[in-house]
Structure 1
Amino acid sequence: MSSLSSPERALFQAALELLSRREHSRQELCQKLANRFPGADFDSLFQRLEELNYQSDQRFAQVLARSRLQRGQGPLRIRRELQQRGVADDCIATALEQLEVDWYARAVEVLQRKFPVPVSPALPRERQLKECSRRQRYLAYRGFPGDAIQWALAAEV
């Protein structure tokens, strides 16, 4: 630490301050620090943070994926958010695999939590279709793939 110049030390401390609150992807951290430290050497900062195991895109992906799973989000939405935050595809794939979740069963759970009463066969056909479409859109918005959505809708009947 003593080998760092004053601006490098300030940059390192600012990065530590952000990382002490929550995990950040490399891209997020760079964006947040770039405004305060224009022209800073971020490559050496990230090299040092990774050597000390203070910043890891893989760990960030795991934490975010687990958090989004608990919120009832599906794999497509989780993947998209991680991509937007600059996480590499291999880290994303590993994080999703480590969740070890049955996305079909998860889609059923999310659907039942939002819509505890199944679509009644006593409803007019048009109304049934409208309600099924509504449930399908809900699961699609949550980030579930089409086959998991169809599975969940079929399990509801």
Structure 2
Amino acid sequence: MKRRSDAGDDQKPKPSAYSKALGLLARREHSRRELKLKLRQGGYEGEEAGAALDRLGEQHYQDDDRFAEMLVRSRVGQGYGPMRLRAELKSHGLSDARIREVLDAAEVDWAAVASAQLRRRYGAGAAPDSGERARRAQFLLRRGFPAATVRNVTHADVDDAADEPD
């Protein structure tokens, strides 16, 4: 009978970086940058992680384009605007040109998404005063909608400076 103190001998060997990354991809899509970070946090060296990511890319298990398309579909469904999506995709290491392509290919009616968010949050009624219109406009700006879209949907005075990245 083994004693508890011998339990250290029964530990499983650490899976390869490839196996670890493949397991992460089995749960959901990940960007290359995200997988690389998770592998580093898991104690995998840069060379081993890089080789694993290259292999996953060659086998089409990991694809930043597919990841970006999935993320855009998901976030649009959650009611986020294009500026929020652009920032999130940029944080995953996608180029500005690729981000533009993905957002254009999504063919989203941003005004309709913004209107749906307002209805979901505030109901179908119109804002009774300018203070309420401003509150609703700020809500949409925080969700990543451009000032022009927010102005059209809420009829509030919104400064175009809201579109400038921080």
TM-score, normalization by structure 1: 0.82
Aligned to 1:118: 126
Q: What is the CA–CA distance in structure 1 between the aligned matches of 2:94 and 2:60, rounded to whole Å? A: 17
Structure with more contact order per residue of length (Cα contacts < 8 Å, sep ≥ 6): 1
Q: 1:76 to 1:39 in 2, by over 3 A?
A: closer
Aligned to 2:150: 149
Q: 1:39 to 1:26 in 2, by over 3 A?
A: closer
Q: Quote the offset at 1:88 in angstroms.
A: 2.3
Cα RMSD after superposing both structures: 1.9
Q: Quote the offset at 1:54 in angstroms.
A: 0.5
Aligned to 2:72: 65
TM-score, normalization by structure 2: 0.78
**1:95-150 CA distances to partner (integer Å, 9 max, x unpaired)?**
21222111122212221221222123xxxxxxx12111100100001100000000
Identity among equivalent pairs (%)? 40
- Secondary structure in structure 2 of the residue aligned to 1:43: helix
- Whether the 8 Å contact between 2:31 and 2:63 is mirrored in structure 1 is yes
Alignment of 1:79-118 (within 5 A): 79-116=86-123, 117-118=125-126
- AA partner of residue 148 (structure 1): T
- AA partner of residue 89 (structure 2): L
The gaps in structure 1 that reach 5 residues or longer are 1-8, 121-127
Verify: 1:27 aligned to 2:33, yes or no: yes
* Matched positions, count: 141
